[in-house]
Structures are given as structure tokens and as C-alpha cells.
Amino acid sequence: MLLWLLLGVPVIPVLYGLMRYLRRRRLRALGDEELVRQMMPSVSPAKAWVKMILLTLAYAFVVLGAARPQVGAKLSHKESKGVEIMIALDVSNSMLAEDYAPNRLERAKLAVSKLVDRLSGDRIGLVIFAGSSFVQLPITTDYVSAKMFLSSVSNESVPIQGTAIADAIRLSVKSFSPQSEKSRVVIVITDGENHEDDPVKMAKEAFENGVRVFTIGVGSPEGKPIPMNGEYIKDKDGNIVVTKLDESTLREIASEGGGAYVRAGNGEFGLNPIIDSIRKMDKEKFDAIVFEEYNELFMYCFAVALVLMGAAMLLSEKKWKKQWF
């Protein structure tokens, strides 16, 4: 975000040039321009520009330093012990309903972000789905990247609308690493309004292959309309569409998938009891290559900025005197 301030770098010389132009216009009002220039023989426009450029460069390096640039110092081999968790997150338009604050999708993203903060040694991945499914984040122990990819998710992340829960479960199962055999979990977060396939059958197949499927229901049984572009979505007959939580389907998915169903609340979203169940599972050993250390570069940027500002302050706007030897 701070790097947007670098857009001011080309603006500063333009504003300075405009200021000097207006100043020259005021000087012309005093009399002949050449005569006025002769009355100020020691003033050097070139040195004034040099001073301004030095200060502009100093500003740029201050912004770069504030942005905290880093480079990876080294790669290291790391062994961890935990569970592989694939989050299958519904991003269909129905997740825009506002029975949670600010809406179902944003509340779910916040809950997953808090889940990531609790992980230690576990691997996590993210599948997003609507009418089709995509791997948003492959299975990883890089929790910083997980939160970054999660923050970019929206209802526009999947172009095909609908709710294909079975496809999301299938893709989640395929996305586990070969290292995990018995510590694999899929957590489906959705309102349960399935329109495309048979998620119960897919959950049973996943469980038979050693993957436990948990479900979190997001929404209310009485339903809510779906806001979009300042108005509610309507069907082909002009009636406002109301999206309701389908708990029966989600309970059946969790039952056949060897997991558990939890209905999300505004306070306790439902991940805590699921995580407690996961903690009781056998742990796998994972090997990973990770960046262990980072070199901070901000101090070099600030040092360069300090030198440039010092040079600008020492530089006067008077002409250099000629010396003859």
C-alpha cells in the first residue's frame, strides 16, 4: 500500500517546474526579465533543480524504506508434524446474504483467517467453489501466503455460478499431498444449497479413501435475500430470491464423510469444535523447504535517503564562483 506513494515522485518535479514558472511571471511584472536576472547574478536555476531532484530521490527512498523490503536469505529443510486440512469455501452469490455481518462470505473468511492463526505444524489448502471449483491455494505450511490468498477471495473468483459441493469435495481430496495418508480433513463451508451434483455420495467416497469431511452451515433456515449492485437478486418472474440454509444436506454430508456438522453462529463460527476433533487425529510427519530467514533492506533505503537530504541541504542555490589558476 505504501508503494502507491511512489506515484508522487514524477509529480514533485512537475509541481516544482510550475512553481518556478509562476515565479518567473511575477518577476516579469517587476520589469525587463533580462534586467531582473542581472540584478540576481548569484542565483543558479540549475542548482535549484539539482537540489529539488535530490530531495525527490530522498522521498522515494523513504517510501521504499517504510515499505520494509525483504529478500530471502536462505532456504532450509523443515520437518513438521500435523494434519492436512483443505478448506472448501463456497463463493457463490448466495454467500452475499447478510444474515451474518457483513455477509456470509466475509464472515467465513474471517473465521478461516482465525483458524490459520491457530495452526502449528499443520498444512492448509484452499478450494473455492460455486458452479465449479478451483484450487485457490495448494496445500502448504506457509500461513502468511494462506491469509493473503484468502483475503483476495470474492464472489467473482469463480465465474460459473451455482453450488457444486460434490465437485469441491472431489477437488479437495485430489489436492492432498502424497505424504499424508490418514491425517486428511476437508472442511466444507457453505449454505448447503446444492444445485449441481451428489455431495453425499462424494463425501462417502472420500471417507472410504481416508479423508474425513466436516461441514459448516452458513446462513439461516428462514433465509435472506441476496444483495448485489444496490438491489436484491430476482428470479425470472421478478420475485426476490431468498437463500436458505440447507442443514439436512450438510448433516448427511458430514455423517457419510465421517466428520461432523456445525451450524455457524455470529459469535462462534463453528471451527473450534471441528479443530478439537482434528487435534485428536493421528499426526503425520511432513518435510518442507521454507525460507527460514529474511534480510531486511529498509535501513539501507533510509541511509540513502539521509545522504540525499544532507547533500540537498548543503547545496546552496548560488552559482559556483569561477577560480583562475
How confident is the model over 72-83, as pLDDT tens digits?
655 565 667 788
Fill in the amino acid letter for 191: D
Nearest-Å Rg of the Cα atoms of the chain is 30
Both 49 and 88 in one domain: the answer is no
44 DSSP 8-state letter: -
Residue 270: pLDDT band by 50, 70, 90 thresholds? confident
Q: Is 218 left (phi over 0), alpha (psi -120 to 50) or beta?
A: beta
Choose the most confident range, by mean pLDDT, from 3-17, 97-111, 309-323.
Answer: 97-111
**304 and 238 within one domain:** no
Which range marks the domain in which residue 118 is found?
Answer: 75-288
Asked if residue 324 belongs to a domain, the reply is no
112 and 161 assigned to the same domain: yes
Judge if 98 and 10 occupy the same domain: no
- What is the mean predicted confidence (pLDDT) over 271-292? 73
pLDDT digit string (tens) for 112-123?
A: 998 888 888 889
pLDDT value of position 311: 87
49 and 146 share one domain: no
Chain centroid to CA 66: how far? 20
Assigned domain for 64 exists: yes
How many of the other CB atoms lie within 10 Å of CB of 73? 12
pLDDT confidence band for 325 (50 / 70 / 90): very low
94 vs 45, 52, 230, CA distance in Å? 64, 55, 15
Query: Do 12 and 93 have their domain in common?
Result: no
Q: How confident is the model at residue 26 (pLDDT cuts 50, 70, 90)?
A: confident
Same domain, 110 and 183: yes
- Do the domain assignments include residue 273? yes
Strand partners, 318: 43
Strands 284-296 and 231-232: unpaired
Residue 280: pLDDT band by 50, 70, 90 thresholds? confident
Same-domain status, 255 and 162: yes
Domain co-membership, 61 together with 152: no
How much is the average pLDDT of 286-304? 73
Mean pLDDT of 133-162: 90
Residues 126 and 59 in one domain: no
Residue 87: inside a domain: yes
Same domain, 17 and 152: no
C-alpha cell belonging to residue 321? 564562483
Residue 321 lies in a domain: no
In a domain, 325, yes or no: no
Q: How many domains does the chain have?
A: 2
Residue 277 lies in a domain: yes
Note the pLDDT tens digit of each residue in 32-69. 656 656 655 555 677 788 888 988 999 999 988 888 88
Closest CA relative to residue 274, chosen from 206, 212, 203: 212
Return the half-sphere exposure (C-beta side, CA atoms, 13 A cut-off) of residue 297. 10
In a domain, residue 147? The reply is yes
Query: In terms of domains, do 52 and 101 share one?
Result: no
